[in-house]
Structure formats: structure tokens, C-alpha cells
Structure 1
Amino acid sequence: MTERTPADERVELALDLLANLEHEDLPLPAAVDRIETVTTDPTLVRRVLDEAELRGILEREDGRIRVRRGSYVSFESDVVVREGDFDCRRCGASLSTGHFVRFETDELGPFGSSCVRKVLGRE
């Protein structure tokens, strides 16, 4: 069995995020915006999209993606709020309260209260 690299782990985390989006249909740039909360490496972003399609997580067509399976993140049980000194992974704002999303593969965050909702497709 081969060991997973840090890049492999980021891909798996991004796949978890895509599988748990609340929007079933969104423009490709919006999906990329969400993936970029995990990695901004263009090669990995492309790898995430390709792997998501291969695994049946999403379909791509005409600049849009359609999420095909997954479940939604529960804010009560899957989002952890911590006090501290953080920078939002999405917008870069300084935070005193960080929101972290727990997935099977890892935890993603910190995010501000509005950015965590945007990343998960609640806004």
C-alpha cells in the first residue's frame, strides 16, 4: 500500500467538501472558489475536479457542475467554533472566532461566520 502524500490528503478533503455542498448545481468558478479553500495549486484544483467526476461526485457540463451525491453539513454537529487568532481561509480576514468544518478525511477552516456559509453553499 502506498502512503498518501500531503497533496493526496488535500485532494481527499476537497472531494469531501464537494460531496457535501448544499447547492446541487453551480457555476464552475463557484466550485473552484470552494476548492481553493483547500488548495490554490492549479494542478491540484484540476485533479480534484477530474477525480470528483471519476468518482461520480459531480458532473461537469457547459461551465457548470451538478453534485450527484453526498450529504449536507450539519452546523450543529459538523461545524466546530473556536476562539483564537485566525485568518479566514476564504477571504483572509482576521478572526477572533473561527469556524471549522469536520469531514471524514480532515477538518477544513478556519472560516468567518459568513464565509463558512458561502463555502458550504448556504448563501
Structure 2
Amino acid sequence: MFAEETGDSSIHLTNWPTVSELAAIPASEVTGSFSAACDAISAIRKSKSESGMSLNRELLTLDLETDEAGEHDLRLVRKDVAAAGGADDISFVPGTPTSDWRYMAHVKPLED
């Protein structure tokens, strides 16, 4: 597929992009997704730990309490965060983050 799209036989033999080629790539409109994902996953792990759950325990529900900005920052990584937390998806619950937390996780495990 790479060879068909670029005309090069192998990605391993291709030249690195030049500075001007990299400069032509538009900047992302979304910032903060990585730090939001880290904060959300930390909140999920904390909630599981405080509930006495194994960190790899699958979840029936995963609710993340946050504000609109917190939800917005997770929109591109939502499925990744859910999977890292052991859930199929995330439900967002309106909340007001404090200096202590950006996301507050509420988890319910799958029954054994």
C-alpha cells in the first residue's frame, strides 16, 4: 500500500521529510487530548483502586464527571480512554473540576 501511494519501494528506504515539508503540515486544531487522557485514566485507576477493584477489571459503566472543556478535550481519545479503563464507552456527568481533580470517575464493574 505504501509503495502504491508514494512510489517508493519501502518506507525503510525513504528519505526523512525536509523542514519545509514538515512546515507545510497544518497544526492540529485540538490541543490537550494527551494530558486529558492521562488525567482521565488516572481518575479511573484511582476510582478502581479506592473501590478495591483490580485495575484491569472490566467495567459495566464508566462515568466521568467533568466540565464541557474536559469533555471536549477527550473527544478524539474517548474510545482509547474507555478501553484503557476497561469499558466500552464513557458517559459524561456534568461537574466542576477543582484544583484537586479535572476528572472524577465513577465506575461499576461487570459482574463475574
TM interval, short-chain normalised: 0.3 to 0.5
The TM-score normalised by the length of structure 1 is 0.34
The TM-score normalised by the length of structure 2 is 0.36
Give 1 or 2: higher helix fraction: 2
Give 1 or 2: higher strand fraction: 1
Higher RCO structure, 1 or 2 (CA under 8 Å, sep 6+): 2
